[in-house]
Structure 1
Amino acid sequence: MGAETVREIIHTDQAPKAIGSYSQAVRCGQTVYLSGQIPLDPATMTLDNASIDDEIRRVFANLGAVVKAAGGRLDQIAKLNLYLTDLGDFERVNAIMAEVFPEPFPARAAVGVAALPKGARFEAEGVLVLDA
């Protein structure tokens, strides 16, 4: 039989607690699977949604907090999946992502969706690969 994969649950109070039956992230070896982050303020668990820019920045900050808790950096994210309720916000996401993420950028998908939890307009999740 092959070696058993050990799964480590990643949690930080610097990102919103799970609002469902999931973990903020799960580490399997050097790969960390990051759950979707919406623009919840971790301290109040309310939406940070004064503007779409506020939502985007909060989502990336939340994702960054989970990445840090896993022992990683944003530049180690290999794949991002972005979900937008209005694809008209695509250019704002690109602009803010370019401010937050260093190049080379991760592989990415951007998907238009009908709705997101708690009325959010933006969500991001991804796969982080830690240095060996």
Structure 2
Amino acid sequence: MAHTIINSPNAPAPIGPYSQATMANGVLYVSGQIAFDPQSGDLVNDSIENETHQVMKNLQAILQEAGMDFGNVLKCTIFVKDLNNFGRINETYGSYFNSNPPARETVEVSRLPKDVNVEISCIAAK
């Protein structure tokens, strides 16, 4: 199957052997994003809300590079280090979906890359 690699200069470069996203048959698979500020290269982790906002901004940049927005998102996966932060993450995440939010799962994990608190991936379609 033919697929297209999607990379946005407005999202952080991958920190391993993967692409920011791939598109096949109009479906976009976005790799998990963490709260790197793409301009400074710094992690945004002064609060769980700011960390989640940066993750969502990174997802948004990749979606835009593919000609999409959050309205195209079908499903998200949220990985969190501490489910006690779920309410705060959920409120911030939810502010990016005005109506008809996508399907989603949220999973607590013992550790995430760069010891961040939240990582989010998504699948979107045109």
TM-score > 0.5, shorter chain as reference:
yes
Compare CA radii of gyration and give the structure with the larger one: 1
SS of the residue 2:4 aligns to:
strand
Match of 1:33 among 29, 36, 58: 29
C-alpha distance in structure 1 between counterparts of 2:42 and 2:61, whole Å: 17
Q: Are residues 1:124 and 2:114 paired?
A: no
Alignment RMSD (CA, Å): 0.8
Cα deviation digits, residues 63-112 of structure 1 (max 9, x gap): 01000001101011000000000001110121112211121000000000
What fraction of aligned residue pairs are identical, expressed as a percent? Answer: 35
Q: Which moved more, 1:41-50 or 1:23-32?
A: 41-50
| Residue number among 50, 62, 68 corresponding to 2:64 in the alignment | 68
Aligned residue pairs total 126
Query: 5+ residue gaps in structure 1?
Result: none
Could you list the runs of 5+ residues in structure 2 that have no partner in the other structure?
Answer: none
Moved runs in structure 1, 4+ residues, more than 4 A? none
- In the alignment, the residues of structure 2 paired with residue 85 and residue 98 of structure 1 have an alpha-carbon distance, to the nearest angstrom, of 19
Structure 2 length as normaliser, TM-score? 0.97
